[in-house]
Chain A
Amino acid sequence: MIERIAEFSIRRRAWVAGAIAALTLVLSWFALHVEVRTVFEDMLPSRHEYIRTHEKFKDTFGGSNMVTIMVEVEQGEIFERHVLDKVRTITLGLRELSAVNQYQIISLASKKLKEVRASTEGIESRPLMWPDLPASAEDMAELRDAVLRNPLVYGPYVSKDLQATLITVDFIDHAVDYATAFAEIRALIAGVDDGSVRIRAVGDPILYGWVNHYVPETVNLVAAAMGLTLVMLFVLLRTWRGVLLPLLAGVVSAIWALGICRLLGIHFEPLVIVVAMLITSRAVSHSVQIVNRFDDELAVIAADPGCARQAAKVALADLFRPGMLGVIADAACMAVVALSPIPMLQKLTLLAVVWVSTLTISAVILTPVLLSWIRRPHGFAQPVDFAPLLHKVLDFGVWMATSRFRYAVIGCSLVVTLASGLYAFNLKIGDANPGSPILWPDATYNVDSAAINGRFQGVDRMFIVIGEDGREGLVKSNEVLHAMNGFQRFIEAQPEVGGSLSLADVLPVVNSTLREGNPRYLELGDNQMVNGSLIAMLDSVSEPGDMDRFTDNHYANGAVTMMFRDRQGETIRTAVARVKEFIEKNPLNEGHWQLAGGLIGVTAAVNEVILSSQIEHIALALLVLVVICTVVYRSTMAGLLFMVPVIISNTLTFSFMAWKGIGMNINTVPVAALGIGLGVDYAFYVADRIKEEIAAGSTPEKAVFESMHSAGMGVLVTASVLILSTALWWASSLRFQAEMGLLMAIWLGVSAMSALFVMPSVIYVFRPAFIFGRRERPVLSGLRPASAGA
Chain B
Amino acid sequence: MTMASMAKAGTAMERLIRIGLSALPWLIIGSLLWAGLFVKPQPVGASVQPPVLERRDNFYGIAAGREGQLLVAGTGGKILRIDPASGRVSRDRTPVGETLQDIAGWNGERAVAVGNDGAILISADGGPAWERVADVPRSEVANKLTRVKTAAGGVAVASGEMGALLVSRDFGATWARLREEEDLAWNDVALVDASRMVVVGEFGRILVSEDGGTAWTEPASPVPSSLMAVAFRDAKNGVAVGLEGVVLATHDGGRTWRQAELGIHEHLFDVAWDAAGGRWIGAGALGRWITADAAAERWQSGRLDERDLSWHTRVLPLNGQVWFAGANVGRWDGQAWTPLAD
Residues of A within 8 A of B (CB): 145, 148-149, 154, 160-162, 429, 488-490, 492-494, 499, 516-520, 522-523, 526, 570, 573-578, 607-608, 611-616, 619-620, 622-623, 626-627, 630, 636-637, 639-640, 643
Contact = CB atoms under 8 A, between A and B. Distances in A.
Contacts of B286: 145, 148-149
B28 to A, nearest CB: 7
8 contacts: A519-B269, A611-B41, A619-B33, A620-B32, A626-B32, A636-B22, A636-B25, A639-B25
Given A576-B43, A615-B39, A619-B36, A519 B25 contact: no
Contacts of A619: 32-33, 35-36, 39
A573 B43 contact: yes
Contacts of A639: 25, 28-29
B19 interface: no
Nearest to B76: A489
Contact of A575 (B45, B51, B267, B307): B45
Contacts of A613: 40
Nearest to B286: A148
B180 to A, nearest CB: 23
B50 A493 contact: yes
Given A145-B286, A619-B32, A489 B54 contact: yes
Contacts of B101: 520
Given A149-B286, A517-B267, A570-B46, A630 B25 contact: yes
A623 B32 contact: yes
A637 B25 contact: yes
A640 B42 contact: no
A640 B39 contact: no
A575 B47 CA distance: 10
B221 interface: no
B226 A627 contact: no
Contacts of B81: none
B243 A517 contact: yes
A519 B326 contact: yes
A640 B33 contact: no
A522 B35 contact: no
Nearest to B29: A626
A700 B144 CA distance: 93
A162 B305 CA distance: 13
Contacts of A636: 22, 25-26, 29
Given A160-B307, A574-B46, A620-B32, 17 more contacts: A429-B43, A489-B76, A493-B50, A493-B51, A520-B60, A573-B43, A573-B45, A615-B36, A616-B36, A619-B36, A619-B39, A622-B32, A623-B32, A623-B33, A626-B25, A636-B25, A637-B25
Contacts of A490: 50
B327 interface: yes
Contacts of B35: 615-616, 619
Interface of B: 22, 24-26, 28-29, 32-33, 35-37, 39-46, 48-51, 54-56, 58, 60, 75-76, 99, 101, 116-117, 144, 146, 225-226, 228, 243, 267, 269, 285-286, 307, 309, 311, 313, 326-327
A786 to B, nearest CB: 38
Contacts of A578: 45, 48
A623 B37 CA distance: 11
B41 A615 contact: yes
A488 B56 contact: yes
Nearest to B37: A616
B311 A519 contact: yes
Contacts of A160: 307
Contacts of A627: 29
Contact of A492 (B37, B55, B226, B313): B55
A9 B279 CA distance: 106
A680 to B, nearest CB: 15
Nearest to A622: B32
A523 to B, nearest CB: 6
B173 to A, nearest CB: 26
Q: Considering the complex of A and B, which 3 residue pairs feature the smallest CB-CB distances, nearest first?
A: A577-B45, A636-B25, A574-B45
A623 B29 contact: yes
Given A520-B101, A573-B45, A612-B42, A623 B36 contact: yes
B332 to A, nearest CB: 18
A614 B43 CA distance: 12
B144 A520 contact: yes
A493 B48 contact: yes
Nearest to A486: B76
Of A161, A607, A626, chain B has the most CB atoms within 10 Å of the CB of A626
Contacts of B54: 489, 492-493
A627 B25 CA distance: 10
Contact of A494 (B48, B56, B146): B48
Given A162-B307, A519-B58, A640 B45 contact: no
B40 A522 contact: no
Contacts of A575: 45
Contact of A519 (B28, B50, B313): B313
Contacts of B44: 573, 577
Nearest to A496: B48
Given A149-B286, A162-B307, A577 B43 contact: yes
Contacts of B24: 640
A517 B225 CA distance: 12
Contact of B313 (A520, A607, A637): A520
Nearest to B160: A520
A607 B32 contact: no
Contacts of B146: 520
Contacts of A643: 28
Contacts of A612: 40-42
B326 to A, nearest CB: 7
Contacts of B33: 619-620, 623
A154 B327 CA distance: 14
Contacts of B75: 523
Nearest to A612: B40
